[in-house]
Homo-oligomer: A and B are copies of this chain.
Amino acid sequence: MKLNEHYFELTESYLFSDIARRVKAFAAAHPDQKIIRMGIGDVTRPLPPAVTAALEGAAREMGQRETFRGYGPEQGYPFLREAVAAYYQSHSTVVSPEEIFIGDGAKSDLGNILDLFSPACTVLIPDPVYPVYVDTNVMAGRRIVYLNASGQNGFLPLPDPRVKADILYICSPNNPTGAAYDRQGLQAFVDYARENGALILYDAAYEAFITDPALPRSIYEIEGARQCAIEFCSLSKTAGFTGLRCGYTVVPQELVFEGHSLRAMWLRRQTTKFNGVSYPVQRAAAVALSEEGRRASEENISYYRENARLLMQALDKRGIFYTGGRHSPYLFMRCENGMGSWQYFDWLLENAGIVGTPGAGFGKNGENYFRLSAFGGREETKEAAERLLNL
């Protein structure tokens, strides 16, 4: 037996277990202090009634001989692929249902897509970053080159034509920084990719938080992107599906490398290693993307946006630099008084009872930064904003 030795090159991440340990110790020492947790990027609003009704309806269908469904199409039911295409159409992007693949979440697809590419590819990944981009490539033994994001470039770095890469990752609006590229920024990536025969893996998981129509919600709003980009999106943040598990990946027909269609390769991967998303979840997703579902989801997103506004207001009054908050549920704030990320974590917990995520956990350029999430409840977010103000 020969193991995949690249697994042993992975660095263990203790980020969230470290946080949990420190919070536990603090809570034990200060039993009367109310702790406000703003560390985790998970939604908290319940699913809208139309969506739960769709789940229940599909459950009943599965209980009757006449309406029972077994294996579905690996690529997803046509009714859901058409709903995703209509969702794109609603913000003026044309994508064909044939190019849409329903999956169980962007995390799965972002990892699994790498099956199509040689371990000899070089990968360009921004820093700070969602750790999954790094780990999935380390597992395959690919060379990683980092693209440095920082307060100086507003955490929106542009590709350097002297650095050559085969695969580029973009997450916009970004996790963890909340920064969102404008059209010009994304055009620079598309131009770089086309000049270098490279592929963009575009993570649009937070697109629903964009309010400014001048900012692109899809990479396909950029000219030439259909020739060089795969887009990953999910209903997790758009419609509160983190527990239901449903996402979609768009692989345009025009994506041909070395004479091979990536769409055909991905279809082959999915039919071989995947058996489709749960039928009731696909029904729920189709309703979440309908007009009624979108209105309900928009209310939840507005709720989180108001949370973000309260936090931004506090940071603005204190004159603290941050990115995000406007088109994102995340605020990436500069730690006060030049503190390091973990030092600030302890200080903020001690002085305000607020838990956030140290930026250093997302890469070296996250050092001296700190992520706050707007996914909490209104009352606790209000209180957190007040505590930040009164620090």
- The chain A residues found within 8 Å of chain B, CB to CB, are 1-5, 7-8, 10, 42-49, 51-52, 55-56, 59-60, 62-65, 67-72, 104-105, 107-108, 111-112, 115-118, 120-121, 132, 135-136, 139, 166-167, 197-199, 240, 242-245, 257-258, 260, 265, 268-269, 272-281, 284
Contact = CB atoms under 8 A, between A and B. Distances in A.
B68 A265 contact: no
A105 B275 contact: yes
A52 B60 contact: yes
- Greatest chain B CB density within 10 A among A60, A243, A274 is at A243
Nearest to A42: B70
B70 A59 contact: no
Contacts of A48: 63
Contacts of A121: 1-2
B120 A2 contact: yes
Contacts of A272: 111, 132, 135-136, 139
B111 A273 contact: yes
The count of identical subunits is 2
A200 to B, nearest CB: 11
Given A62-B47, A71-B42, A104-B275, A5 B118 contact: yes
Contacts of A44: 65, 68, 70
Contact of A62 (B60, B167, B243): B243
Contacts of A258: 1-3
Contacts of A55: 55-56, 59, 62, 280
A63 B45 contact: no
A282 to B, nearest CB: 10
A46 B65 contact: yes
A2 B65 contact: no
Contacts of A118: 2-5
B60 A56 contact: yes
B277 A245 contact: yes
Contacts of A120: 2
Nearest to A264: B7
Given A2-B166, A135-B272, 17 more contacts: A2-B117, A3-B117, A3-B260, A7-B116, A10-B268, A45-B65, A45-B68, A55-B62, A56-B60, A104-B274, A104-B278, A107-B275, A108-B274, A108-B275, A139-B269, A139-B272, A280-B280
A260 B118 CA distance: 26
A269 B7 CA distance: 9
27 contacts: A2-B166, A2-B258, A3-B116, A3-B257, A3-B265, A4-B116, A7-B116, A7-B265, A42-B71, A44-B68, A44-B70, A46-B62, A46-B67, A46-B68, A48-B63, A49-B63, A51-B63, A52-B62, A59-B284, A62-B244, A68-B240, A69-B243, A71-B242, A104-B274, A242-B275, A245-B275, A281-B281
A4 B117 contact: yes
A284 B297 CA distance: 26
A194 to B, nearest CB: 12
- Greatest chain B CB density within 10 A among A47, A49, A72, A280 is at A280
A65 B376 CA distance: 12
Contacts of A3: 116-118, 257-258, 260, 265
Nearest to A55: B59
A46 B70 contact: no
B7 A279 contact: no
Give 5 closest A-B pairs by Cβ, nearest first.
Answer: A111-B273, A55-B59, A2-B118, A52-B63, A42-B70
